[in-house]
Structure 1
Amino acid sequence: METTKGETRRGKDETKDEALPDFSGLPREIITDVFLRLPAKSVGRFRCVSKPYCSMLSDPGFAKRHLALALKKDSGCQKLVVPSRNLHSVDLDSIGDGCEGTMVLSGVKDHPKDGLESVSVDWVEMIGSSNGLVCVYSQKGSSNGFVCVYSPKGGAFLHNPTTGESKRIPESMLDIVHACRHFGFGFDTLTEDYKVLKFVASDEGYRSVDVYSLKTDSWKRISGLPYKRLGCNPGVHFNGAINWVVKLHKGHNPKRVVVAAFDLKTEKFRDIPCPDEVEDCKYLKAATLKGRLCLVYDSFDKHDDIWVMNEYGLESSWTKIRLSMSYRSMTPLWSAKNSEEVLLQLDGKFVLYNFECKTCRNLEFSNVTFRKMFVASTYEESLISPNSYGNA
């Protein structure tokens, strides 16, 4: 059958869209393998080359393979993310150069596209990060750092700072969220699902927790918890669980201060006793230090020590480490490769502390205004999308 010129031109264009651009006749498998080895940021730029490239490089399966390879080879780009009225990120490799004195950092401004750029928010807070996704919430209205009331314009988000994609998390079973820092965020390797936890406060303490699943885009409630009090910080994702320091109601455990570890696979809590020496401390939080769970103070009094658990879950493996400096509130954030230097968020500032030499140097931001109480975090650049993950 004879075709018109318009039909011929349209057929050629469709063929061009379906095929990847020719790189010296390389097969598609080799082209894909090359992209799998590129940094996530670079791969993101190639999405703009053509529709076939955008389709291939946006595929959830490709994103998972890209992340797995980067984690296996430890070749990904790690970044520090600091919340203020927006998110500010800094390449962590740029601060571990061993120079002396104060280093001035310039953070790159970033924010979730789904909602935060179109409304005026009072502040952005970090909940946590996993596989390149950061979980944040925006505050509207008055807040003293401990209580947050969500407005229709505020809310919680899953956000990929590398790709700019975001997903607003639906409200949980309570419209008013008390003790908003009692959140946690992590990745369930069994079901390959991202989960957000939120403790529910009541007159009896914290007897329930709401669990959000990205795959189902819904919340469910787990009740019957024995917890009386929690600290004022999000849970830390470590060893397949989200960990908080909590105080138990009387009669549940001879040691009333424990690490409450929520197993993301079984969705059950396990209580890990804290050292006897911290039983009377009201302000303590869980963190991680060089691949180990640790306990650090978060109080008005000054301390010069931290506790490290050398074998996760084993009470007898708690070890005290004495520091050469005092602090009121401190969180280990990142460890430099092949170095004893650790990035610490210390009393509202950032320092690089050397555990071998017991020396430290200050880090300052040139373009970020911090609030008095904030939670920083780190993330690995990835192509994981919060919008398509459940359908992968």
Structure 2
Amino acid sequence: MSKVPLDVVTGTLYQLPVKTLLRYRCLSRPLCSIIDDPDFIKLQLNNSIATKSHLRLILKGLHLYSVELDSLDKAIPFNHYPESIWTGTEVFGSCNGLLALSNSDQDIALFNPATRQLFKLPVEYIDLPDKSCIRGFVFYGFGYDLVSDDYKVVRMVQFKKDEDDNLGCFVEYEVKVFSLKNRSWTRIKKLPNYLRFMFQFYFHLLHRRGYGVYVNGVVHWVSPRRPEFGIGNLIVAFDLGLEEFRLLPQPNYGAHEKDFVLDVGALEGHMCLMCNYDLVKVDVWMMKEYGLKESWSKMFSIDRCRSISSFRFLRPLICSNEDGGDKVLLEVNGEKLVWYDWKRKKLKTVKIDGGPDSFVACICVESLIPLDNGSHGIILKKLQEQKEKKTQCRKKRDDFLSKGFKLVL
């Protein structure tokens, strides 16, 4: 090691998968120091994102499943779950190798599947505006704050006057943000009026549309049309750095703006919109330069076919490395995955053995991002302790055998 230049060692290491790097930490102190270095962790992550390597597809059904993106052949259930992950756990966000999990609005955790490390957020109770109000729908968001190099969870709570209040627009929302770096929650006090009209019962309860989409340091939700208030589709954006709300500009849809249901997604690090026309056709738009209205362009349209009778829900996940990136992996209706070649307009269903019948899918890159101030995984520590324990037991056994018996000739 001492004869190999440091940049050569680093340049070789950051291309390796996380599982290998975690094993290499045990080889020597210099290697451990390199792999634990924050700059190396970012270098390894950025290389994986740029080369689209070490990617996994996470499927959330009754349980969590992991699928290698390169093969997409077999779903492997997460074994050795931390205690906080159980059947009802929801995945409401994925960013830089971390999954944001929720069992309830007060039981939230961050989980790194590659290192098996889990961090439970401190319980933050919901503050009712007054005793006459009840808690309504809860929106979630998770992402990376580019400004402060921090990971943040957003919890946005809608309130209702009573059980019969289906509109839920007469009481201001509560918005709180958790900072992983500071290990604390803060309340956002400056809230725009359009948040009051954000929740729509069927839209947000179907297909978990209350989970924000992260792009470029910002979490996004759709506020669907509210004809009764004269409000059109809105893309509500929360900037994790500024901790402020704003509206994201939308494309010029043309004359059919009122004829579709709008949804948001992310593809290749870009903001996407899905315009669903009466379940029979979906237009997918991509924002090439974030925040710039003129950069919106229609990526492709897809019509229902023999294998897909209706589009209740569609979301792009990732583009293929092959065929010039002309194929995109789509989650359709929470029931199937398909490769869609938008230039040839051909669909190919992906068959994954062992996967759930219904699911929510997200892309997760393997990373070394720590959740406990630099230590890479409780699991690894336990494994090391078990290894040391076995070594001690073996030594005691050998000592006993060598001293406790004498060979009689």
How does the TM-score come out when normalised to structure 1?
0.74
Q: Which residue identity does 2:143 align to in structure 1?
A: G
Residue aligning to 1:162: 114
Instruction: Report the Cα offset of residue 25 of structure 1.
Output: 4.4
In structure 1, the gaps of 5 or more residues are 1-22, 96-104, 139-148
Name the % identity. 31
User: How many residues align structurally?
Assistant: 338
From the superposition, tell whether residues 290 and 255 of structure 1 become closer, same or farther in structure 2 (CA, over 3 Å): farther
Deviates more, 1:155-164 or 1:287-296: 287-296
Q: How does 1:1-392 map to 2 (within 5 A)?
A: 23=1, 25-26=3-4, 30-49=8-27, 53-54=31-32, 56-71=34-49, 74=51, 76-95=53-72, 105-110=73-78, 113-116=81-84, 121-138=86-103, 149=104, 155-174=107-126, 178-180=136-138, 182-203=139-160, 204-205=168-169, 207-223=173-189, 224-226=191-193, 227=195, 228-230=197-199, 231-232=203-204, 233=209, 234-247=211-224, 256-274=232-250, 275=253, 277-279=256-258, 281=260, 283-296=261-274, 301-315=279-293, 317-320=295-298, 321-325=300-304, 326-337=310-321, 338-348=324-334, 349-371=336-358, 374-388=359-373
CA distance in 2, matches of 1:210, 1:362: 40
Cα shift readout 1:95-141 (whole Å, capped 9, x = no counterpart): 4xxxxxxxxx2112226854236xxx332322121111121223xxx
Counterparts of 1:162 and 1:257 in 2: how far apart (Å)? Answer: 38
Give yes or no for contact 1:113–1:166 (8 Å, CA) kept in 2: no
Higher Rg of the two aligned structures: 2
Q: CA shift at 1:379, angstroms?
A: 1.5
Distance change >3 Å, CA 168–CA 177, structure 1 → 2: farther
Could you say which structure has the higher strand fraction? 1
Task: Say if 2:61 and 2:356, in contact at 8 Å, map to a contact too.
Answer: yes
Deviation, structure 1 residue 93: 2.0
Mark the CA change 1:173 to 1:370 in structure 2 (over 3 Å): closer, same or farther. farther
SS of the residue aligned with 1:351?
strand
Distance 1:268 1:225 in 2: 9
CA distance in 2, matches of 1:186, 1:137: 15
- Give 1:273 shift: 4.4
Aligned equivalents of 1:217 and 1:177: distance in 2?
25
Note the C-alpha offset of 1:71: 4.0
Note the C-alpha offset of 1:215. 0.5
TM-superposed CA distance for 1:209, in Å, is: 1.8
* Aligned AA (1:383): L
Structure 2 letter corresponding to 1:225: P
Please say if residues 132 and 379 of structure 1, whose CA atoms lie closer than 8 Å, have aligned partners that are also in contact.
yes
In 2, Cα distance between the equivalents of 1:324 and 1:107?
28
Shift in Å at residue 31 of structure 1? 3.8
C-alpha contact 2:135 2:159 (8 A) present in aligned 1: no
- Deviation per CA, 1:331-363: give whole Å up to 9, x if none: 111111232111100012111111111111111
**Which aligned runs of 4 or more in structure 1 are off by greater than 6 angstroms?**
248-252
Secondary structure at 1:93 match in 2: coil
Aligned partner letter, 1:323: I
Q: Which amino acid aligns with 2:75?
A: G
CA contact (8 A) 1:207 1:225 kept: no
TM-score by length of 2: 0.72
Q: Is the 8 A contact 1:299 1:328 kept in 2?
A: no
Q: 1:270 to 1:388 in 2, by over 3 A?
A: same
Q: Which moved more, 1:327-336 or 1:266-275?
A: 266-275
Cα RMSD, aligned residues only: 3.4
Give the whole-Å Cα distance in 2 for the aligned partners of 1:166 and 1:215.
15
CA contact (8 A) 2:281 2:303 kept: no
